[in-house]
A and B are shown apart, each in its own frame.
Chain A
Amino acid sequence: MKDELKRLEQLLNEKDLDLGKIKELKSNLLKEHIKGLKIENYIGDYPTFMEPVILGDDVRIGDDVLIGPKVYIGKNSEIEDYAEISNSIIFDNVKIGKNFKLNNCIILKDSSLNFDNFSSNNCILKGIAESKDSLEIIPI
C-alpha cells in the first residue's frame, strides 16, 4: 500500500495533473489495498468506523465523526467534530474543520482546511484555506 500511496502522491504533485491516472490509482488503492480495520493509534473518543478504514499514527478525531467505508487517513491528520468521510484518501498532516462531508475525495499532504461546514464529492482538495472560497478544488 505504501508504494501505491507514494505513487499517487507523486502524480498529485506533478505540474500537469493526469486526472485519469489519479482516478485509476485512487480506485485501485481503495479497492485492493485498503482492507480491514487498522485504527489502533488514533486520538479521540470512539468515532464510528465502517470497514475498511486505515488510519496512520496519531490521527486526531473529534466527536460524532463517521469514517468509512474505504478510507485512508495519513499520520498526524486532524478530523474535527461531525465529519463524515467515505471513499477517500487523506494524506499526512491534513487538518479539516467541523462538519465536513467528503465522498470520493483526496486531500493532499499538509493541507489545512481551516473552516467549518463543507461538503464535496469527487474532488482533489489542497492548500491552506481559511474559507471555502480560498480552497483549491479540482474535480475528478
Chain B
Amino acid sequence: MSEKRKKDISRIKELESINLATEDNRDLVVQTKREVEKDNELLAQRNNEELKEYNIKSIDVVGAIGAGKTLLIEKIVEVLSKKYRILVICGDITTRVDADRIQAHGAETIQINTGRECALNAYHIHQIIENKDLNSFDLLFVENVGNLICPSDFTLGTDKRITVVSTTEGEWVIEKHPMLFKMSHVAVINKIDLAERLGTDIQKMKDDAKQINPNIEVVTTSAKTGLNIDKLIEILEL
C-alpha cells in the first residue's frame, strides 16, 4: 500500500469512523476518538467560562451551505451593532467572502479557513479568544462551516446554538438531520418568502423540529426581506 493511501486511511480513522480500523489497531482508534471528543468538550467548557468572565454573550450559527447564515448574521449585526460591540468568527473551507460581508455591517470579524475540515471545533475558538482582547466585545457570533452534519460532533462553548435551514432545502431537511436540532436552542427556517412558490410544507418543518427537540424555539425568517429578524433577536434575548 502506498504511503499516501496509508495516510488517507489513517486520516479517515481519526476523523470519521472506527469501521476502517483493522483488528490490531481498533482499540487504539477507539481510544483516540474518545479522547478527542472528551478534549473538545473540556475545551468548549473552558471557552464558555472565559467568555462569561468577560460578560460576552455567544451564539454559534450552523446550517448547510446556502441556508442564509451569513445574511442572517448581517441583518442581526445591522440592528445590534448600535447596542453591542460584536465579534464574528467565520468558518469557511477557504476565502474571506463571508467575513467581508459581515464586517461591512459594523462587526469585527475573524476568518478561519478550515481547509479540509468540515466544522469548527472548540480548539479553533479557544485559539481565537486566547489571542483577542475580550474587553473589547459584548457579543460573539460564530458562523460555522456550511454543513448540517459535522458541526454536531463539536460543541464550541457558546451559550446558544442556532441551526438554520431554508425552504429551498425541502420540507424533509430537518427530519433527515436530527442531530443538530437535538443540540440547538433555536431552529431558523429561512427564505420563508419563497415557501409558497416552492410549495414547501413549513408546518412539517416546524413539527419535525419540535418532535426532535421539544425545547427548541422555531422561527421563520426571510433574511432577504428582513422578516422576523426582530423576532429572532428577541428569542435570543439580545
Contact = CB atoms under 8 A, between A and B. Distances in A.
A111 interface: no
A97 interface: no
Nearest to A49: B113
A110 interface: no
A64 interface: yes
Contacts of B96: 36-37, 51
Contacts of A86: 127, 131
Contact of B94 (A36, A46, A63, A68): A46
Contact of B111 (A51, A63, A64, A70): A51
A48 B131 CA distance: 17
A50 B94 contact: no
B116 A46 contact: yes
A69 B113 CA distance: 11
Contacts of B94: 46
A48 B115 CA distance: 5
Nearest to B109: A51
A63 B11 CA distance: 10
Contacts, number: 45
A77 B11 CA distance: 25
A87 interface: yes
A87 B112 contact: no
A46 B112 contact: no
B110 to A, nearest CB: 5
Interface string A39-50: 100000111111
A47 B112 contact: no
A37 to B, nearest CB: 5
Contacts of A49: 111-113, 115
Contact of A50 (B7, B11, B127): B127
A64 B7 CA distance: 11
A47 B115 CA distance: 5
Interface string B83-120: 00000000001101001000000000011111111000
B107 to A, nearest CB: 14
B112 A51 contact: yes
A89 B96 CA distance: 22
B116 A70 contact: no
A30 B80 CA distance: 30
Nearest to A48: B115
Interface centre among A47, A48, A63, A86 (most CB of B within 10 A): A48
* In the A-B complex, the 5 residue pairs with the closest CB atoms: A46-B115, A49-B113, A51-B111, A69-B131, A48-B115
25 contacts: A37-B111, A39-B113, A45-B115, A46-B94, A46-B115, A47-B115, A48-B113, A48-B114, A48-B124, A49-B111, A49-B112, A49-B113, A49-B115, A50-B110, A50-B112, A50-B127, A51-B96, A51-B111, A51-B112, A68-B112, A68-B127, A69-B127, A69-B128, A70-B131, A86-B131
Interface of B: 7, 11, 93-94, 96, 99, 110-117, 124, 127-128, 131
Given A48-B124, A49-B111, A51-B96, 20 more contacts: A36-B96, A39-B113, A45-B115, A46-B94, A48-B112, A48-B113, A48-B115, A48-B117, A49-B115, A50-B124, A50-B127, A51-B99, A51-B110, A63-B7, A64-B11, A68-B112, A69-B110, A69-B128, A69-B131, A86-B127
